[in-house]
């Protein structure tokens, strides 16, 4: 009797964001709907990989959620998300963020720590951090199985498909969404860029909180340009996105180092945690952060020179 063969199950592949398909004759409302659907699809395409504990799939699901929230923020004067849906999005973002922080700490940040004989110390810290990362991933998986997540995705889908933002709300002006997308997108892009330029002017290169605000503004400005990229001058957008990405890379690295300090402090509370290795890692990463601060001058200057779209 021939033995039945079992085919291997392919590993999940992380799905990155696809360009938003926009038509020049669309209204701003059409574009808004298309952008939100693109972001939600980006999130949901990575759910299977999150269940398989794939770190890159979790990262891409989080990016999709960040893009969605950035789009909602971009249109906040025209559209108001229901409070319950907003609360659930914040809940999901917190869970994904916590798991991602541990993934970056274990998979990337600890690799920056050097020194003679440090391999054993790195392994000891990773072993201590792994249960925290596993618990964070399990919390995400439980959330994705929960009724709350199913209700969130269903409510969000209906809100987008039925354009429920058309219901009147105090201070919200959905009528402005009737304009042609080329006309309507300009004030949105300019507002995002003016906010970024303001944060860049106010930036204190030695202050982590100030730089964090720059990072958020740069991310929102880049997402805004990427949303409307099919309708914008290709060369100019490519140049601006490249400069903002370079700035975000440095600021993101600094943010990872700051979070690593918080996670090491959390590990110090564990009785079995390697205290000596943790102290060494904290000191080493602090010196790496100082060096990164010195490398900020050029990307900050280049980002300040980015003209408005």
Between CA 65 and CA 41 the distance in angstroms is 10
How confident is the model at residue 181, as a pLDDT? 97
Q: Give the relative orientation of helices 234-267 and 275-294 as an angle to the nearest 10 degrees.
A: 150
What is the DSSP-derived secondary structure letter of residue 168?
A: -
Between CA 178 and CA 165 the distance in angstroms is 13
How confident is the model at residue 309, as a pLDDT? 67
- Give domain limits for the chain: 28-304
Between CA 232 and CA 228 the distance in angstroms is 7
Give me the residues of the chain with pLDDT under 70, please.
Answer: 1-9, 116, 168-172, 174, 308-309
What is the DSSP-derived secondary structure letter of residue 180?
A: B
Phi, then psi, of 274 in degrees rounded to 5:
-75, 95
Query: Can you give the C-alpha Rg of the chain in angstroms?
Result: 22
Q: Is 268 exposed, middle or buried (0-12, 13-18, 19+ CB in 10 A)?
A: middle
The model's pTM: 0.93
Is 28-304 in CATH node 1.10.340.30?
no
Between CA 211 and CA 203 the distance in angstroms is 6
The pLDDT tens digits for 141-174 are 999 999 999 999 999 999 999 999 988 665 667 6
How confident is the model at residue 97, as a pLDDT? 98
């Amino acid at each position: 009797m021939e033995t039945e063969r079992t085919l291997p199950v392919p590993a999940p592949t992380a799905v990155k964001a696809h360009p938003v398909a926009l038509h020049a004759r669309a209204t701003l409302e059409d574009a808004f709907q298309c952008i939100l659907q693109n972001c939600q699809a980006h999130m949901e395409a990575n759910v299977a990989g999150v269940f398989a504990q794939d770190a890159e799939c979790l990262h891409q699901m989080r990016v999709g959620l960040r893009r969605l929230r950035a789009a909602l923020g971009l249109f906040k004067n025209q559209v108001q998300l229901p409070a319950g849906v907003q609360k659930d999005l914040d809940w999901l973002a917190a869970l994904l963020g916590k798991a991602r922080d541990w993934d970056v700490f274990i998979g990337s940040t600890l690799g920056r720590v050097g020194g003679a004989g440090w391999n054993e110390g790195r392994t000891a810290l990773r072993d201590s951090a792994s249960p925290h990362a596993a618990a964070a991933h399990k919390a995400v998986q439980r959330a994705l199985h929960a009724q709350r997540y199913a209700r969130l995705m269903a409510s969000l889908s209906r809100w987008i498909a039925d354009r429920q933002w058309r219901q009147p709300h105090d201070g919200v002006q959905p009528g402005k969404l009737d304009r042609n997308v080329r006309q309507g997108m300009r004030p949105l892009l300019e507002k995002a860029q003016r906010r970024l330029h303001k944060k860049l002017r106010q930036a204190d290169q030695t202050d982590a909180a100030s730089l964090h605000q720059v990072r958020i503004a740069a991310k929102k400005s880049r997402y805004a340009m990427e949303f409307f990229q099919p309708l914008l001058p290709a060369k100019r957008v490519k140049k601006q996105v490249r400069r903002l990405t370079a700035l975000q890379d440095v600021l993101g690295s600094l943010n990872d180092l700051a979070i690593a300090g918080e996670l090491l402090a959390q590990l110090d509370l564990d009785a079995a945690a390697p205290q000596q290795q943790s102290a060494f890692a904290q000191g080493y990463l602090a010196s790496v952060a100082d060096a990164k601060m010195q490398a900020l001058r050029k990307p900050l200057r280049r980002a300040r020179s980015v003209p408005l779209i």
